[in-house]
Amino acid sequence: MLLKGDILFRKQPFHHTMMVMEPMDFAKSDWYKEGKDIEIVHAASIDSHVYREVIDLEASDPIQRFTAYRSNDDTVSRSAFGYANVWAWTRNMKAKGLKTVRDKAQKKTPYSYKPVDKEQDGIARSRYYGIQEMKGTGNPPFEFDALYRAFKWANRGRHAFSPNRGTTCCAFITACHQAAVVDTLAGGNYMKVARAFKFLEEVRGQKDPDRFKKFEPLGPKSVKVALGVRRLANPGSLYPEFSVDDYCMYVTDILCGERLTVAETFPPALIVDAKFNYSANFEQMLAPRDSGYQRLF
């Protein structure tokens, strides 16, 4: 049985991360006998947005190479679903392109997972490349910028997730769950989240204004990748003498009146720089018994 907010992985033909939006047949204890339909949010291909759609898991992958995980905190699961519901498009199979969940909704999340995303100057600016660079290198560390972004996303519940350069499937779902942890700690109090984010915004370092003009050739094809989409472009804080735990204790005090370190705030599976997370790493982080998540199948 699956619930809203659960995380699904498909390992083949490529490692893929999804979130359950409506369990449908999977809400039944005997779903394996009666059906495979489920509504999920994901980024289905290299040129699509993050969107909601109903898929048949058996038809999608007859070998059934799926695994599923659920947060040990039901409130986090519900909140993660809420963020995904605001940010993702809904796929309309009868119309060209995508339509939003609500009429007149604007600035929804664009998804820029494209193998060739170049402007006239030939420089690739898709976040896809920054994530590709991280694959196989281990867990993208949770440093100041990761904390900043978790609070930024929690504060962005009324706006587009990433209106300019999009995201990838795993980064999106990791971010939804990190934002949900922040929201849960604040007891759903939007003003507390806004205050905490404002503090982190004020102490963040300045981004290089030319980060999308500067580039380095990366990969076997030597694609000109803008420095701005790579993890090395993280500006960090203005005061490096303070640790990420110092900052986390300050903002959690705003949220819930307790000074909590990163490890006390986020479950182990979410202590990752979500912007650069990739499916193989995320599933590996969810798998241990002490990850803060339980494996369903």
Q: What was the pLDDT predicted at 106?
A: 45
Whether 273 is covered by a domain: the verdict is yes
Whether 1 is covered by a domain: the verdict is no
Question: Among residues 143, 117, 139, 147, which one has the least CA distance to residue 129?
Answer: 117
What is the amino acid identity at position 180? A
Annotate 33-76 with three-state secondary structure. HHCCEEEEEEECCCCCCEEEEEEEHHHHCCCCCEEEEEECCHHH
Q: Is the pTM of this model over 0.85?
A: yes
- Number of independent structural domains in the chain: 1
Q: What was the pLDDT predicted at 94?
A: 46
Whether 293 is covered by a domain: the verdict is no
Joined together, the tokens standing for residue 169 give 């499937």
- Each residue's pLDDT tens digit in the chain (297 positions)? 899 999 999 886 678 899 999 999 888 877 666 678 999 998 765 555 678 888 887 776 666 678 999 999 999 999 999 999 888 876 554 444 444 444 444 444 444 344 444 556 888 887 778 888 888 788 999 999 999 999 999 998 767 777 666 678 899 999 999 999 999 999 999 999 999 999 999 999 999 999 989 999 888 888 898 999 899 999 999 999 999 999 999 999 999 999 999 999 999 999 999 999 999 999 999 999 999 999 998
Whether 69 is covered by a domain: the verdict is yes
Whether 297 is covered by a domain: the verdict is no
Whether 200 is covered by a domain: the verdict is yes
Whether 295 is covered by a domain: the verdict is no
Domain of 161, in residue numbers = 7-287
β 215-218/223-226 pair status? antiparallel
C-alpha–C-alpha distance, residues 250 and 183, integer Å = 16
Q: Give Cα separations from 14 to 17, 53, 94, 169, 285 (angstroms).
A: 10, 19, 27, 12, 18
Whether 149 is covered by a domain: the verdict is yes
